[in-house]
Structure 1
Amino acid sequence: MQARIRGMDLPLVLLHAFPLDSRMWDGVRERLDPITPDQRAQGEPDLAAAARRVLDHLDERGIERAVVGGCSMGGYVAMALLRQAPERLAGLVLADTRAGADTEEARANRLAVAERAEAEGVGEWLAGTVPALLAPTSPEEVSSRVRGWVLDQDPADVAWAQRAMAARPDSTELLRAARVPALVVVGEHDGLTPPRQARELADLLRGELVQLPGVGHLAPVEAPDAFADAVLDWRQRLAL
């Protein structure tokens, strides 16, 4: 509840990365008091549909405007929200994500992962990707926790998310035209969406960039206090 105590009345929505769920935000809940909907397999694999479900969730709560953030895949959903209903976003927080669509190779890899999840279920083959998500120096406790989250995922959700991400459009021009305060956060050792891409993202949005030292692609999980500090400082200065 700290954000509300400090006078920031707009709700904060945080959208999780793949292949995780809303538990990835547990480390920042006490300080940021976020709304954290899960992205589940429903209907056609389309991030626009995921964004509509987030809007429905806000409508059910009577929330007209919110600060919306996302990590990795959650960032893609946040961009889909910006595309659909920019008037609902009072601010945008993008962590360890990118504006561009997939290359043909990346798209093919996602579709292969979706097919494998459906054929084999979720197992060590997917949990084995966790080291690529974390910094080399990430504690074993963090790695074990993330592996557990991955192994908990429903194969249908994994397949849906991969196909939805494979189909997402390029958001470069969307972000360039956006008129919303923005914060971009990136881990120093993020090998999937490295700091160079985060700088490009911040430049597109005319926003602020915060690089968190010693962490990788899951900065809010690896450094929850530093992530919360960055978000709270940005919100206080912009009165969001």
Structure 2
Amino acid sequence: MDTLAGLHTYRAGTDAPPLVLLHGFPYDHRMWDEVAAALPGTHPVLGVDLPGTPGHATGLPDPSLEVSADVVADLLRGAGVDRAVVAGLSMGGYVALALLERHPRLVAGLALVDTRSTPDTQAAYANRLRVADEVERAGTVDAVRGGVAAVLAPSTPLGRPEVVATVTSWVEEQPPTGVAWAQRAMAARPDRTAVLATFDGPSVVVVGAEDALTPVEEAEHMVAASQHGRLVVVPGAGHLSSVEQSADVAEALADLVARVQR
């Protein structure tokens, strides 16, 4: 895999718009590794490490997902990409919608995976700020390490303990400063349902059938708001469908890429 300052090339390919994969919190591009490996075809596939991840957690401006979206746009344009199929999981979905709002001509197709277009509730907002303060004060990621079980389908820890170990290791490798920054950035995000409604390109909303954090109802809300959205519910997956059921997610993304290329 080639790497250039936060942009990871899973597959170089044709001149077609690349599929760009934006990760969730508190992880990095590695959560897409198995999906990228399972994708059919020859189109380019890129992964992005967003602000706050290892190597990208110092010298950050005030926390905002708009900053993250601008970073993605700059990385893509720096690589000569002016149109892309953008897929974001959880926080990556929030960034994808901010990218659509701020750089609409970059987005040829949109996949929103285990995410929502609405802002945090007051309770979730307060909890993000509490966790950010705790992580910063402690200088460790202990405050988010325990959340791994909550993002997986109930059957995953029992039947696939290696998945729990892998996801936990990703969390432990994140810098506390970056974790705090990302929490505050997510807390500050607005409702972008109206932004989604303006998009007239192909889109898909993918959600784990057992996602307790952004459940199927949230996915249905985004499909209803979109002009050309399709819903894909992934069985046997919680909030990390790209990790738990990578082949199903790869199939959904491949279908989206094919719709863009028609």
TM range, smaller chain: over 0.9
Give the drift of 1:4. 7.6
**1:88: which partner in 2?**
106
Secondary structure of 1:186 counterpart: strand
Secondary structure of 1:36 counterpart: strand
Is the 8 Å Cα contact of residues 48 and 80 (structure 1) preserved in structure 2?
yes
| Alignment equivalent of 1:182, drawn from 203, 208, 211 | 203
Equivalents in 2 of 1:31, 1:197: separation in Å? 26
**1:205: which partner in 2?**
226
Is the 8 Å Cα contact of residues 109 and 260 (structure 2) preserved in structure 1?
no
Residues 22-55 of structure 1: CA distance to partner in whole angstroms, max 9, x if unpaired?
1101112224452111112421101001100101
Consecutive unaligned residues in structure 2, runs of 5 or more: 1-8, 53-59
Write out the 4+ residue segments of structure 1 that deviate beyond 4 Å after TM superposition: 1-5
The letter of the residue matching 2:243 is V
CA RMSD of aligned residues (A): 1.9
Equivalents in 2 of 1:57, 1:204: separation in Å? 29
**2:254: which partner in 1?**
232
Give the drift of 1:67. 0.5
| Alignment equivalent of 1:127, drawn from 137, 141, 145 | 145
Residues 143-164 of structure 1: CA distance to partner in whole angstroms, max 9, x if unpaired?
1100110111100110000000
Equivalents in 2 of 1:95, 1:8: separation in Å? 25
Residue 39 in structure 1 maps to residue 50 in structure 2: yes
Is the 8 Å Cα contact of residues 135 and 143 (structure 2) preserved in structure 1?
no
More deviation, 217-226/23-32:
23-32
Residues 141-188 of structure 1: CA distance to partner in whole angstroms, max 9, x if unpaired?
111100110111100110000000000111111112222211110000
More deviation, 90-99/124-133:
124-133
Residues 120-147 of structure 1: CA distance to partner in whole angstroms, max 9, x if unpaired?
1334432111011000111111111001
Q: Give the direction of change, closer, same or farther, for the CA distance of 1:123–1:160 in structure 2 (3 Å limit).
A: closer
Residue 24 in structure 1 maps to residue 36 in structure 2: no
The letter of the residue matching 1:126 is V
The letter of the residue matching 2:203 is A
Consecutive unaligned residues in structure 1, runs of 5 or more: none
Q: Map 1:130-149 to 2 at 5 A.
A: 130-138=148-156, 139-149=160-170
Give the drift of 1:200. 1.1
Residues 79-117 of structure 1: CA distance to partner in whole angstroms, max 9, x if unpaired?
000000111100001000001111221111000110011
Q: Give the direction of change, closer, same or farther, for the CA distance of 1:88–1:24 in structure 2 (3 Å limit).
A: same
Residue 77 in structure 1 maps to residue 101 in structure 2: no
Give the drift of 1:3. 8.6
Secondary structure of 1:162 counterpart: helix
The letter of the residue matching 2:233 is Q
How does the TM-score come out when normalised to structure 1? 0.94
**1:49: which partner in 2?**
67
More deviation, 26-35/151-160:
26-35
Equivalents in 1 of 2:166, 2:124: separation in Å? 27
Is the 8 Å Cα contact of residues 109 and 256 (structure 2) preserved in structure 1?
no
**1:167: which partner in 2?**
188
Equivalents in 2 of 1:8, 1:142: separation in Å? 35
Equivalents in 2 of 1:167, 1:155: separation in Å? 19
Is the 8 Å Cα contact of residues 8 and 235 (structure 1) preserved in structure 2?
no
Equivalents in 1 of 2:143, 2:197: separation in Å? 38
Is the 8 Å Cα contact of residues 14 and 68 (structure 1) preserved in structure 2?
yes
Equivalents in 2 of 1:236, 1:79: separation in Å? 21
**2:82: which partner in 1?**
64
More deviation, 74-83/39-48:
39-48
